[in-house]
Amino acid sequence: MGVARVHPCGHGAVITLDAPQGYLHNVIMSGPASGGEGLWAAQAGPQEAFINSREFEVVYGGARGGGKTDAALGDFALHARTWGKAAQGLMVRRTRRALDPTIARAHEIYSREGARWCASRSAFEWTSGARLVFRHLGRDTDADGYQGHSYSRVYVEELTQFASPAPVNKLKATVRSPAGAPCGFRATCNPGGVGHHWVKARYVDHGDGVPVIEEIRNPFDGSVILLTRKFIAARLKDNPALLGSDPDYVARLALSGSRPLVQAWLEGDWSVIEGAFFDGWGSRNVLAPFPIPEDWTRFRSLDWGFSAPFSVGWWAVASDSLEIQGRTVRRGALIRYREWYGRGARSGGGAGLTATRVAEGIVEREREAGETVRDGVADPAIFAHTSGPTVQEEMRKAGVFFRAADNTRVGRLGALSGWDQMRARIEGRDGEPDLFVFSTCTDFIRTVPSLQHDPMRPEDLDTRAEDHIADETRYACMSRPLISRPPRPPGVPDDIWRRNWGEGRLSRI
């Protein structure tokens, strides 16, 4: 075990309480009174908390119009006032067009600070030598171009537009100051977007203003470096500057989207997700574990991955209706009672387990539970011959059998297929779902509810996010499809029709 120490750039400042000078200076400089005539000053509340933060990473996220971009621009103004030439910043957005309004607002703030816009370098430059460069990162690989750069401050706007933290991490590696200025990574974002769930898990879920400490082992000397991070929640009410100058903003925002979307934007509510693909999902789909009755059919579903994550779900099919935990588990409902999600340390990476190891893991879990599972459906890719035995053949040797799942994603000509099947089960009918998940299936609960629509093809989900568990669940749903009730043909008496097709919209499970 190495010795904990503070990163030379002040990354560990919050733990040592030995705040680098610049941070203390920011504290003194903050607040409405600090700016001086016409100079930018933080508003009380989250903006003030943002500029005074001493953590290495600070993410300011939530309501639209909450004052996040202004806080980021203002933060650099204060940093430049204090650190002069040592203040070197980078501000990044996804597109050049999105960068334009930020640059326009930066003109208003920085012209009063004596900085000038240099179009050829796309940067604001201070006479002191301080500089803030504006760039867009259209593709994730564009982040590679920053290797070797040094910035005392990196700001990423709209962090939730990044499907994975990988490109952002590359930018983080540029945060260092040879001149000794205190370094920091700062980001802003709204709920929703392809990166919603990793941003929520890494920052939002730890609570508003709660510092989190991450231990990183130095591969060269084994010492432990402590990196700190924090989330700050943005709410519209904390931006009186906007509400005062544009009182109709709230009304316009309220008219601009669906009810959940407006709630997310107004209140910065991260549990209400714009564009959630499975919008019928709710806490009603989650049950505390209970003993599965012996006579219920059990099967498993698999989405295979070696360099990408793999996912195994164990399902029970209710053979009778059951009242449990205040819910009705209807006959035919699917209950996900166990899962095994294999992923690697790298975001989006696989566990790198062979088919044999995965099959052995499945056998071991079933043996431990004392159950026999005979049926399984899997990604048809496991039957594909490339070189040597197929994944399915390797698994069969280890005693695990799968049949090929129907992997139709999107229905054609009104057929209820793929995602429709899964959505119909999640939503259920008469107020009760036809798909439940045990609360112990934490990877399902982490990934599936926050999946988004594909912006280019809204009937499909956005595959840039972590979708392996959703795929595997889709295979499970397709193996026991719900059949749409056909329209009653003319001439068939109502009682005969009802007797044959049952009372539900979905008649056979």
C-alpha to C-alpha distance for 460 and 69, rounded to whole angstroms: 32
Question: Judged by CB, which is closer to Mg ion: 74, or 342?
Answer: 74
Q: How many of the other CB atoms lie within 10 Å of CB of 179?
A: 14
Question: Judged by CB, which is closer to ligand ATP: 97, or 374?
Answer: 97
Token output for 419: 């995602």
Going from the C-alpha of 219 to that of each of 5, 141, 274, 443, the distances in angstroms are 14, 25, 41, 30
Per DSSP bridges, beta strands 224-234 and 4-5 are parallel
Question: Judged by CB, which is closer to ligand ATP: 69, or 417?
Answer: 69
C-alpha to C-alpha distance for 217 and 227, rounded to whole angstroms: 11
| φ and ψ of 125, to 5 deg | -125, 135
156 neighbors 98 (Cβ within 8 angstroms) = no
C-alpha to C-alpha distance for 135 and 92, rounded to whole angstroms: 5
Q: How many CA atoms lie within 13 A of 403 on its CB side?
A: 7
> Which listed range, 65-73, 161-169, 294-302, 422-430, lies at the site for Mg ion (CB under 5 A)?
65-73
Q: Does 47 bind Mg ion (CB under 5 A)?
A: no
229 neighbors 203 (Cβ within 8 angstroms) = yes
Going from the C-alpha of 318 to that of each of 233, 274, 299, 333, 484, the distances in angstroms are 42, 32, 12, 5, 20
Residue 348 binding: pick among ligand ATP, Mg ion, none (C-beta 5-8 Å cut-off by kind): none
Minimum distance of ligand ATP from residue 14's CB (angstroms): 24
Residue 241 binding: pick among ligand ATP, Mg ion, none (C-beta 5-8 Å cut-off by kind): ligand ATP
How many residues are listed for the chain in this entry?
Answer: 509
C-alpha to C-alpha distance for 388 and 448, rounded to whole angstroms: 34
Residue 239 binding: pick among ligand ATP, Mg ion, none (C-beta 5-8 Å cut-off by kind): ligand ATP
> Which listed range, 60-68, 117-125, 205-213, 328-336, lies at the site for Mg ion (CB under 5 A)?
60-68
Residue 452 binding: pick among Mg ion, ligand ATP, none (C-beta 5-8 Å cut-off by kind): none
Residue 161 binding: pick among ligand ATP, Mg ion, none (C-beta 5-8 Å cut-off by kind): none
Minimum distance of Mg ion from residue 280's CB (angstroms): 31
Q: Determine the size of the site formed for Mg ion (CB under 5 A).
A: 2
Q: Does 43 bind Mg ion (CB under 5 A)?
A: no
Residue 64 binding: pick among Mg ion, ligand ATP, none (C-beta 5-8 Å cut-off by kind): ligand ATP
Residue 67 binding: pick among Mg ion, ligand ATP, none (C-beta 5-8 Å cut-off by kind): ligand ATP
Q: Does 69 bind Mg ion (CB under 5 A)?
A: yes
C-alpha to C-alpha distance for 337 and 471, rounded to whole angstroms: 17
Token output for 505: 């919209």
Q: Which residues bind ligand ATP (CB under 6 A)?
A: 42-43, 47, 64-70, 74, 105, 188, 190, 234, 239, 241-242
Minimum distance of Mg ion from residue 492's CB (angstroms): 59
Question: Judged by CB, which is closer to ligand ATP: 107, or 346?
Answer: 107
Minimum distance of Mg ion from residue 131's CB (angstroms): 21
Q: Among all residues, whose Cβ is closest to Mg ion? A: 69
Residue environment code for 212-224, b if the CB has 16+ CB neighbours within 10 A, otherwise e: beeeeeeeeeeee
Question: Judged by CB, which is closer to ligand ATP: 236, or 318?
Answer: 236
- Contacting positions for Mg ion (CB under 5 A): 68-69
